[in-house]
Amino acid sequence: MQIKAAVVRDGKTQEVMVEDIVPGDIVILNAGDIVPGDCLILESKDVFVDEAMLTGETFPVEKFTSVLPADTALAQRTNALWMGTHIVSGNAKALVTLTGKDTEFGKVSERLKLKEPETDFEHGIRKFGFFLGEVTLLLVVIIFAINVYLQRPVLDSFLFSLALAVGLTPQLLPAIISINLAHGAKKMAQNKVIVKRLASIENFGSMNVICSDKTGTLTEGTVKVDSALDVNGNKNEKVFLYAYLNASYETGFTNPIDEAILNDRKIDLTEYGKQDEIPYDFIRKRLSIGVSHGDSHFVVTKGALANILDVCSTAEIEEGKIVEISSLQDKIQQHFEEFSDHGFRTLGIAYKNITAGTPLTKAMKRI
């Protein structure tokens, strides 16, 4: 399967093979494209990039044109694209700076070619082998010296010592070790554990603490909705409806949170309509959607709980009953801490009634 990329050469955009791209080329990248090399962004519009293959993080990273210090950490270089990552949404024009094994992805692949480190078990077997060799050599020398001292023929004494050395050598030791480790690998396979290196089984058995990357390794990397709650911590269908409206009408990059909300259950939205949108960004940390329902018009905002609370002045404790949010701040924070202690990712949902035709802009502080 051949991968091509759009490159600007001689003032014209043309499709070329990825392996033919060289530093200095200007590439055009759109949603779904794989970045062909390490690049510096020249122009961008709403660019979000999936860098999971390098960082393990499932959430897309926003990229834009900027000038950063040379010592900026790789994960914080928001003006750079890395080879092997792919564009989730938006489009960009970028200058290729590095290709092939000189890229960050290339350096990772080069490190994978290094010899695998010796396990403690292999180190122990090697030391045991040297010990047996030293003992055998010492016995051979002693037996040969005794035979010579007893005035036996020198050649016969040497051959006898050599035969004894061969007899003392544990030729079946490698086979015995392999058979035992293979038996262990078979038992682990019955528990759905795949063993790639037999020698690692002994190390695995002697571990007290195992540290592992969780996302995509121990978990599936998917998000599911646990519940939609009001400010009192009770389940509330209106909260879920507004979250569903926000996720349904969102047109930015596809993210796991919105997918989880939409996949939890289906709601008929034929009576609702989208009016406007303020996309999510990493400054506001919230997404605002203008919605109409009959003669009513309102804005639904979803995002990080702290950012949602910052723009809210009131809270709805039950249908039609509004109170000052300052009186509930402690209770909301207590709920948030409880959810966080149980490993839940908690988002805030807010709404605001507006007049028909009101345009939504980031300058509106309460949206």
Is residue 114 pLDDT above 70, yes or no? no
How large is the average pLDDT for residues 257-270? 90
- What mean pLDDT value characterizes the chain? 85
pLDDT in tens, 188-211: 889 888 888 887 787 777 788 888
Whole-number Å distance between alpha carbons of 111 and 91: 32
User: Which residue in the block uniquely carries the two structure tokens 């050469």?
Assistant: 9
SS (H, E, C) 72-85: CCHHHCCCEECCCC
Domain ranges within the chain, ordered by starting residue: 4-111, 120-205, 237-353
Whole-number Å distance between alpha carbons of 259 and 223: 8
pLDDT in tens, 270-303: 999 998 888 887 678 888 999 999 889 999 999 9
Instruction: Pick the most confident of 119-133, 193-207, 235-249.
Output: 235-249
Enter the tokens of residue 76. Answer: 């914080």
CA angle 25, 27, 33 (to 5 degrees): 140
CATH number of 4-111: 2.70.150.10
pLDDT for 349:
94
Least confident among 46-50, 119-123, 301-305, 310-314: 119-123
pLDDT for 149:
84
Is residue 101 pLDDT above 70, yes or no? yes
Residue 237 to residues 34, 241, 320, 349, Cα–Cα distance (Å): 40, 6, 14, 12
Question: Percent of the chain scored above 70 by pLDDT?
Answer: 97
pLDDT for 253:
63
Q: What sections of 210-358 are H helices per DSSP? A: 237-249, 256-264, 305-310, 329-341
237-353 fold: Calcium-transporting ATPase, cytoplasmic domain N (3.40.1110)
pLDDT band at 339, cuts 50/70/90? very high
Among 165, 181, 163, which Cα is nearest to 173's? 181
Do 88 and 48 form a contact (C-beta atoms < 8 A)?
yes
Rounded to 5 degrees, φ, ψ at 13 are -85, 125
Whole-number Å distance between alpha carbons of 237 and 243: 10
Specify burial of residue 349 (Cβ count, 10 A radius: 0-12, 13-18, 19+).
buried
What pTM does this model have? Answer: 0.54
How large is the average pLDDT for residues 322-349? 90
The residues that bridge with 156 in the sheet, in sequence order, are none
* Active-site residue set: 213
pLDDT band at 216, cuts 50/70/90? low
Residues 84/89/90/92 CA torsion (nearest 10 deg)? 0
Residue type, 139: L
pLDDT in tens, 26-58: 999 988 888 999 999 998 887 888 888 888 777
Q: Which letter, b or e, does each residue of 116-139 get, where b requires 16 or more Cβ atoms within 10 Å of its Cβ?
A: eeebebbeebeeeeeeeeeebeee
Is residue 121 pLDDT above 80, yes or no? no
User: Which residue in the block uniquely carries the two structure tokens 């089984």?
Assistant: 201
